[in-house]
Amino acid sequence: MATNEYGADGLKMMEELTINAHQVQEQVLGEILERNAETEYLKGFLNGQTGKQLFKNNVPVVTYEDIKPYVDRIANGEPSEILLAEPVIEFHRSSGTSGGQPKLIPATAEISKKRAVVHTLLGSVLNKHFGDLNRAGKRMELLFVKPEIETPSGLKARSVTTSVFKDNGFRNILPVLYTSPIETIFCLDINQSMYCQLLVGLIQRDDVVRIGSIFASTLVRAIKFIEDHWKELCSNIKTGYLSHWITDSGCKNALSLIMKPDPELADSIENICGCRSWEGIIRKLWPKAKYIGAVTTGVMRQYTTALDFYSGGLPLVSSVYACSEAFCGINLEPLDKPADVSYTFLPNMAYFEFLPVKKDPVLMTQEVQFNSVPKQESIETKSNNDDVEPVDLVNVKLGQFYVLVVTTFTGLYRYRVGDILMVTGFHNNTPQFQFVERENVILSIDADKTSEADLLKAVIEAKTLLDPLGFILTGYTSYGDMSSTPGHYVLFWELKVKEDNDNKELDPKMMVECCSRMEESLDYTYKIYRKQNAIAPLEIRVVKQGTFDALTDYYVSQGASLNQYKSPSCIKSKEALKILDSRVIGKFFSSKTPL
């Protein structure tokens, strides 16, 4: 296959990094400590010294709340040197939807260099599997920004993706590699932005070789958006005129340079969208697309069934594991199914440590797949104990669960990210991890503790009952209802009919069976408490279509970036709960106690 400038150099760099992972990690930590030893924060622990063992002995593992006072001081105008030696040029805002309120993460000029390295490494892997798509055509990637805020220091706080899109390098390559004009990306009205980006993507459908967004949820939302607006989109393409409700001046100006009457194209799209079934609609609308790129791991796995239905067999590629705090790893096997994706860590991005974590050993006997060889593993993990020492990147153990801890060039020292990962293998001397879940995202009524991963597993088991009936689960979330005694788990499900038949009704008996199947899939502790009537029967509330779009809109209105938004597995917000409850069209309860 063809390769571009990323190809050979990127693959060679990846081999060198992963072979020499220990040495690279030692060098990264050494550089971080040399640069920042005299900062107020580190000096309090190291007294200006830079030894690795002293760092591990004296510098504590921290969360955001521990460093927030230092970040706030910088945001309020104090010198960056209180936390890091390099000047802070902006703050990156976390999504705030998976781990609490948005955080401000300091960013320096070096971040663009790190980004370029990841781009080179990732490009080499994708070129190896798909050829040089940059030469073959364009990407239709749905990209969005959030308004930035200015801190008292004058430094801007913006999402990571907004920072990327404002970079001159991105602006320069955008017209060549992407279908969306920059004005449509920077439109702050999400519906106008979505409409215009999809419209341009349809106009250039024969040039599109990759479909993508940051998260899978955005792509599912986009297909639903086309379902609601395809006739209007076709009318715009046919006449060459943009709909009057598009009032954003940037969008209007950008589209005026692209649109011209094209009745033939409009008729082709009408014929595709007017079909009874939308199975394979993505491949039909963009016939030259080679793959769909979006994060499909973790909580995003809930959207893979819908994307598989819409994709027409296109591979779902989850390329990168990154967070607001650091770039972490890339997927060296992009053709792997979402459930099998592992990320090979990049030892040059940050200094990585890993805290062993424990789940209930009674319930953690499960089948774990390592390198396609099934094994029965009883997971022996450490309890969350302050005495447990983090282990280095190269010392993690196969099959073990860990919480990620990072030390970065941007003022995070032994910072607990909050992601739980499992070691699935090694590439050369560098471990590969599956993303399992976020810490502390659980349902609990009594002594039961259901994690994000446990909940996802139970949902996947239950929804298989609906597959033969022609229903697709397009979104779910949950909460612990304590309004009555005993409390019980509530799941909100949004369902879509595979065929174009809005009158098709759910079988109440099958939905009750889904409730029971979920309970059977939950852990030992949950089942014991159900048998003792300490937990009431699980409930599934089916919501009308568009509910999870409304939920997304709510969180975005509260400051989340659409690019970074992840539908929460468990609802904590009363306002979000009101949105869900106001759209319930059916309630079903488990009719039997789980065995």
Question: Does the pLDDT value for residue 374 go beyond 50?
Answer: no
Backbone angles phi, psi at 376, to 5 degrees: -90, 115
Contact indicator for 209, 317 with CB cutoff of 8 Å? no
pLDDT tens-place string over residues 234-252: 999 999 999 999 999 999 9
Measure CA 140 to chain center: 18
Greatest mean pLDDT among 330-334, 381-385, 468-472? 330-334
Tokens describing residue 61: 């593992």
Question: Does the pLDDT value for residue 320 go beyond 80?
Answer: yes
State the sign of the Cα–Cα–Cα–Cα dihedral 426, 427, 431, 433: negative
Residues 277-289 have a mean pLDDT of: 96
Residues 551-574 have a mean pLDDT of: 84
CA atoms of 539 and 489, how far apart (whole Å): 6
* Cβ neighbourhood burial of 542 (10 Å; 0-12, 13-18, 19+): buried
SS3 for 141-201 is: EECCCCCCEECCCCCEEEEHHHHHHHCHHHHHHHHHHECCCHHHHCCCCHHHHHHHHHHHH
Q: What is the pLDDT of residue 373?
A: 29
CA atoms of 494 and 536, how far apart (whole Å): 23
Segments making up each domain of the chain, as ranges: 7-109+320-438, 138-287, 442-589
Considering the entire predicted model, what is its pTM? Answer: 0.80
Q: What is the pLDDT of residue 73?
A: 96
Question: Does the pLDDT value for residue 222 go beyond 90?
Answer: yes
Contact indicator for 289, 298 with CB cutoff of 8 Å? no
For the ranges 349-353, 433-437, 439-443, the lowest mean pLDDT is seen at: 439-443
- Going by pLDDT thresholds of 50, 70 and 90, the confidence category of residue 103 is confident
- The CA-to-CA distance between both ends of the chain, in Å, stands at 53
CA atoms of 410 and 392, how far apart (whole Å): 20
Q: What is the pLDDT of residue 377?
A: 32
The structure tokens 């990759």 sit at: 210
- Going by pLDDT thresholds of 50, 70 and 90, the confidence category of residue 37 is very high
Question: Does the pLDDT value for residue 362 go beyond 50?
Answer: no
CA atoms of 498 and 325, how far apart (whole Å): 39
Q: What is the pLDDT of residue 53?
A: 94
Mean pLDDT of the chain: 88
- Going by pLDDT thresholds of 50, 70 and 90, the confidence category of residue 360 is very low
- Going by pLDDT thresholds of 50, 70 and 90, the confidence category of residue 409 is very high
Tokens describing residue 121: 């490494």
DSSP 8-state symbol, 456: H
- Going by pLDDT thresholds of 50, 70 and 90, the confidence category of residue 137 is very high
Nearest to 122 by CA among 361, 329, 357: 329
Higher pLDDT, 75 or 371: 75
Residues 481-491 have a mean pLDDT of: 87
Question: How many helices (H) and strands (E) are present in the chain, helices listed first?
Answer: 21, 24
Please count the other Cβ atoms lying within 10 Å of the Cβ belonging to residue 417. 22
Higher pLDDT, 405 or 378: 405
CA atoms of 310 and 492, how far apart (whole Å): 22
Q: What is the pLDDT of residue 498?
A: 82
Contact indicator for 466, 473 with CB cutoff of 8 Å? yes
Percent of the chain with pLDDT over 70: 91
Q: What is the pLDDT of residue 500?
A: 63
Question: Does the pLDDT value for residue 162 go beyond 80?
Answer: yes
